[in-house]
Structure 1
Amino acid sequence: MANEKARENMKGSGGVTYSQAGEGYFEKRQLKRTAGFWGLWGIGVAAVISGDFSGWNFGIGEAGWGGLAIASVVIIVMYFGMLFSIGEMSAAMPHTGGAYSFARAAMGPWGGFVTGFAETIEYVFTTAVIVYFSASYADAVTSELFGLSMPSWVWWIILYAVFVGLNAVGAEVSFKFAITVAVISIGILMLFAVMAVVNGAVDFSRLFDIAADPNAAGSSTFLPFGVLGILYALPFAIWFFLGIEELPLAAEESHNPSKDIPRAGIWGLITLIATGSIVFFLNPAVTGAEALGASDEPLLDGFRAFLPAGWAAALSGFALIGLLASLQGIMYAYARNMYSLSRAGYYPKPLSLTGSRQTPYVALITGAVIGFVALLIVNFNEGAGDVVLYIAVWGAVLAYGLQMISFVLLRRKFPNARRPWVSPTGNAGAIVALFIAGLAFVGVLLNPDYQIAIIAIIVFYVIGLLVFGFYGRHRLVLSPEEEYAVTGGLHGFDPEAEGLGGTIEDEILKGHTD
């Protein structure tokens, strides 16, 4: 019955063509189960925590401290609704596809591609943003301590090379590293808080030192750039948490994904709310909101405010660990995202090769090259940090919205599918998250300062859709994500237990034609 349903679904699946994977195809694309709850918590927190060290503060420049505060509360509501929904879908579909997998089952191959591609943009460009900020921090530290300064592009090459190598070593190393640096990063933020208070450097009146713009509607001391500034601040509030939703990508490397991924995501978000609150309230209270609004290294500026230069640089060297934690975690995410889309044939199939260490090393290298080239291009035209951040956030909010639509559709389309974990907020949580993601999407589009980011995104999507339309959709393979979708959730739930290719592939493809 599952195979008959699969063939019916494939006939109306948007003009795509499936073919036999071929002997040894999946054997060359294997991942290794190494992660428990703490490994997942670590990779989730590590991937995001750099947002506490750089990037979030640009939201103050757009909306003032009060505007960013309102935007952050709204975004926290969105993330809870979204993580509850993603938790249910990831428990029902514990394979590496993540957002692509959810959308593929709910909206067909084209929906799966559009969503998966948005997530590729999100993670590849988030990695580039973190490389950019890490280079800024690293150069500031080495300049102050050793008088050594290097061009940004040299730092970018070093950082990409080191962390591609670290991720290629193996998932077990990646998860252990993530736990370690996540804990260290949390400790650094707590140290900053204690030292700022002990040194008497905290003055909360500095949160409102930005003069109100008389031309902005609704401007005040609390909202110096008016109500519209809140909308513009939403993408930067997202930066506090962007990446925690990556955990479903670790499904095939987790021992108990249906149980641990939802729990790790929620507890990871709670952890990030706590750490984000430290810098949000104390960092601008030390430096002043106006001074912080355009800084590439806000935490370093915070240390500089109450410590001698050498001490500040040394402590910020430890702060660099937080950025490097996210560099490793987000690089892990883009590699698994590209791996899953490649394994299914949406992207060129060599991207999913894993080698003897069972890590998608081709995807790791490819994402690094794309990110490096993007930094060079954007930096040549104007400052790279906030522009590339905007590209990353746009990809994120598009993927978020499509995943929430997928959640609602899947509950209707696959009512009998196994759901080991169920969202406590149901459709209501997904709809609220969808609405807020839509607001953030509009905020990206309307901000005139980031038109170059919008143009870049349009170009990426035109190229991506053309390649998929003319090439990729005719070369799809029944990966676990595809099997789950075409069988209505009756096969592909557990790739390890059910197997890949072979008999099931022969039966599903029997009689399937263009």
Structure 2
Amino acid sequence: MNTEVVPQHAAPTGQTRLKQTLGPWQLWGIAVGLVISGEYFGWSYGWATAGTLGFVVTSMLVAAMYATFIFSFTELTTSIPHAGGPFAYAHHAFGPLGGYLAGAATLIEFVFAPPAIALAIGAYLNVQFPELSPKHAAVGTYVVFMALNIVGVQIAAAFELIVTLLAIFELIVFMLVVSPGFSLAHFVKGGWSGIDHFSLHALPGMFAAIPFAIWFFLAIEGVAMAAEEAKEPKRSIPIAYISGICTLVLLAIGVMLFAGAAGDWTKLANINDPLPQAMKIVVGAKSGWLHMLVWLGLFGLIASFHGIILGYSRQIFALARAGYLPRYFDKVHPRFRTPHRAIIAGGVIGIAAIYSDELITFSGHTLTANIVTMSVFGAILMYIISMLSLFRLRRTEPTMERPFKAPFFPYFPAFALLSALVCMGSMLYYNWLVGVVFAGLLLAGYIYFRMTGHQRAVVPLDLLLEHKQELQPEHGGNGPAL
């Protein structure tokens, strides 16, 4: 039995708040920027199992899950605007064990998403420079952006908004350039898992494609980590979340439709750069449009990659600071005052994943597909715990201040929870080897969690639940806010 004392949520004070500077547009830029790389790659693996039409159905069901989840998750974000995000919500609702599960799931999601994005960056660069190994380019991307984060370079909200707008602009350009070759006959041919008409035999492929439909929207919940810095969070966060999910749904439909209708869509499945390859079909390999897509498309991938590095480093640092990970990782660089150990730790895991072909390439899936699936496992578990936290807090703390309440409660969160459970069950069935690895990571973390209760017993309450802490090198002196 867990005997840890469960601290109560502490209200923020003026000295523990981050400066509130982000408006709805900037938060929208963060929401879409974190996810925009999912429009450029990853989703086409779903075509390999579900076909084009089957994957459209899967994607729309997943989009409905995300829409109801975001409406519900916004209640938690505005009620407990903590930089730890889901970790704080679950800790508040279920105590240390709940905090561990949500924190571990979020960490797996954010640590395994970057290597998949890095591989996509490598694939895009390989289009421009065929002699450049995609893996070497991916590792180089890690080194550059880890170094930038360590020396204190962060994506300013204005820059994030600019690169997000550029990435969206490029997706629109892609659709316009391939439109001359648009043919629904191309898109629907064998569009039900290789079957030219719908059949019950297509259903297994549609369920198996769930992780790649989730990739379209994965990490949009990362806006929760910026909730403390939002001006008028009651108004700005719901606007950012809702407009963000609408933007991503429209882009997902457009990208899938125009790419699949450009030619033989089967040549775009199981690759990391479906958009350049789709454009090649229409304009040829030497077209200037293709080169523009590669270079501008990198903005979308880099926006997500850099943003998620910031996310995983904060998660590692926050969990270590709260006693859930070794305290070694809660130190900051003596000169740059950044969580350099947390940044490097997540990068080492990501680089190891990139070169772990024999360990990660199994179940008939590619390396990138399995990395995506691992990240999605973490996300889905976090979604489940977050919705359970919402229900529990509604029951145990009915008087909590809720600036934004989930509409159509309990139906929206119930649909999101049920959909997430269905996704988890389907993923376990079709990706059981990845699921075993995922469960092994959680089990190893749980053993550490049970063995280190003494670490959390001496952690000040505000480090577990307060909204902002200052980085302190070796726990001495005052450092700048992260």
Q: Normalising by the residue count of structure 2, what TM-score does the alignment of the two structures yield?
A: 0.87
Q: Does 1:322 align with 2:300?
A: yes
Report if the CA contact (8 A) 2:155-2:306 is conserved. Answer: no
Aligned length: 454
Which residue number corresponds to residue 248 of structure 2? 272
Which residue number corresponds to residue 332 of structure 1? 310
Query: Which one of 65, 79, 85 corresponds to residue 66 of structure 2?
Result: 79
Query: Which one of 225, 247, 251 corresponds to residue 249 of structure 1?
Result: 225
Q: Does 1:40 align with 2:27?
A: yes
Q: Does 1:16 align with 2:1?
A: no
Which residue number corresponds to residue 231 of structure 1? 207
| CA displacement 1:338-359 (0-9 Å, x = unmatched) | 2322222212234344557665
Shift of 1:473: 5.7
Q: Does 1:363 align with 2:342?
A: yes
- CA distance in 1 between counterparts of 2:332 and 2:230 reads 17
**Residues 1:162 and 1:97: Cα distance change in structure 2 (over 3 Å):** same
Query: Which one of 426, 440, 448 corresponds to residue 423 of structure 2?
Result: 440
Shift of 1:106: 1.0
Which residue number corresponds to residue 325 of structure 2? 347
For the residue of structure 1 that corresponds to 2:410, the secondary structure is helix
Residue correspondence of structure 1 range 307-318 to structure 2 within 5 A:
307-311=283-287, 312-318=290-296
Which residue number corresponds to residue 394 of structure 1? 377
Residue correspondence of structure 1 range 414-453 to structure 2 within 5 A:
414-447=397-430, 450-453=431-434
Shift of 1:159: 0.7
- CA distance in 2 between counterparts of 1:256 and 1:370 reads 37
Report if the CA contact (8 A) 2:217-2:248 is conserved. Answer: yes
Shift of 1:174: 3.8
Relative to structure 2, which stretch is displaced further, 243-252 or 222-231? 222-231
Q: Does 1:208 align with 2:191?
A: no
**Structure 2 unaligned blocks of 5 or more:** 8-14, 470-482
Which residue number corresponds to residue 470 of structure 1? 451
**Residues 1:156 and 1:30: Cα distance change in structure 2 (over 3 Å):** farther
- CA distance in 2 between counterparts of 1:142 and 1:359 reads 34
Counterpart of 1:125, as a letter, is F
Report if the CA contact (8 A) 1:56-1:237 is conserved. Answer: yes
Which residue number corresponds to residue 509 of structure 1? none
Q: Does 1:413 align with 2:396?
A: yes
Which residue number corresponds to residue 107 of structure 2? 120
Which residue number corresponds to residue 39 of structure 2? 52
| CA displacement 1:153-191 (0-9 Å, x = unmatched) | 422221112222344455863423321211110000000
Counterpart of 2:109, as a letter, is E
Counterpart of 2:377, as a letter, is W
- CA distance in 2 between counterparts of 1:427 and 1:120 reads 28
Q: Does 1:372 align with 2:355?
A: no
Report if the CA contact (8 A) 2:123-2:272 is conserved. Answer: yes
- CA distance in 1 between counterparts of 2:38 and 2:199 reads 23
Report if the CA contact (8 A) 1:17-1:474 is conserved. Answer: no
Report if the CA contact (8 A) 2:48-2:193 is conserved. Answer: no
Residue correspondence of structure 1 range 256-267 to structure 2 within 5 A:
256-267=232-243
| CA displacement 1:355-374 (0-9 Å, x = unmatched) | 57665333222111111112
**Residues 1:71 and 1:313: Cα distance change in structure 2 (over 3 Å):** same
Report if the CA contact (8 A) 2:83-2:468 is conserved. Answer: no
**Residues 1:90 and 1:169: Cα distance change in structure 2 (over 3 Å):** farther
| CA displacement 1:230-257 (0-9 Å, x = unmatched) | 2112211111101101111123344444
Which residue number corresponds to residue 499 of structure 1? none
Query: Which one of 123, 128, 131 corresponds to residue 141 of structure 1?
Result: 128
Counterpart of 1:377, as a letter, is S
Which residue number corresponds to residue 141 of structure 2? 159
Shift of 1:223: 5.7
Counterpart of 2:185, as a letter, is S
- CA distance in 2 between counterparts of 1:479 and 1:132 reads 40
Q: Normalising by the residue count of structure 1, what TM-score does the alignment of the two structures yield?
A: 0.82
**Residues 1:305 and 1:424: Cα distance change in structure 2 (over 3 Å):** same
Shift of 1:289: 2.8
Report if the CA contact (8 A) 1:60-1:68 is conserved. Answer: yes
- CA distance in 2 between counterparts of 1:224 and 1:399 reads 31
Counterpart of 1:453, as a letter, is V
Counterpart of 2:443, as a letter, is V
Please give the root-mean-square deviation of Cα atoms over the aligned residues, in Å: 2.7
Shift of 1:475: 2.7
- CA distance in 2 between counterparts of 1:310 and 1:411 reads 58
Shift of 1:295: 2.1
**Residues 1:229 and 1:381: Cα distance change in structure 2 (over 3 Å):** closer
Relative to structure 2, which stretch is displaced further, 381-390 or 398-407? 381-390
Relative to structure 2, which stretch is displaced further, 466-475 or 90-99? 466-475
| CA displacement 1:18-46 (0-9 Å, x = unmatched) | 99xxxxxxx9x996655333332212211
Shift of 1:142: 1.4
**Residues 1:335 and 1:37: Cα distance change in structure 2 (over 3 Å):** farther
For the residue of structure 2 that corresponds to 1:287, the secondary structure is coil
Please tell me whether Structure 1 or Structure 2 has the larger radius of gyration of its CA atoms: 1
**Residues 1:260 and 1:347: Cα distance change in structure 2 (over 3 Å):** farther
Report if the CA contact (8 A) 1:127-1:330 is conserved. Answer: yes
Which residue number corresponds to residue 303 of structure 1? 279
Counterpart of 2:183, as a letter, is D
Query: Which one of 433, 437, 450 corresponds to residue 456 of structure 1?
Result: 437
Report if the CA contact (8 A) 2:50-2:191 is conserved. Answer: no
Query: Which one of 241, 264, 268 corresponds to residue 292 of structure 1?
Result: 268
**Residues 1:298 and 1:68: Cα distance change in structure 2 (over 3 Å):** same
Shift of 1:401: 0.8
Q: Does 1:194 align with 2:176?
A: yes
- CA distance in 1 between counterparts of 2:315 and 2:309 reads 10
Report if the CA contact (8 A) 1:43-1:175 is conserved. Answer: yes
| CA displacement 1:443-468 (0-9 Å, x = unmatched) | 21111xx4441232122112111111
Which residue number corresponds to residue 11 of structure 2? none
Q: Does 1:175 align with 2:175?
A: no
**Residues 1:31 and 1:141: Cα distance change in structure 2 (over 3 Å):** farther
- CA distance in 1 between counterparts of 2:454 and 2:182 reads 57
Relative to structure 2, which stretch is displaced further, 391-400 or 463-472? 463-472
Shift of 1:221: 2.3
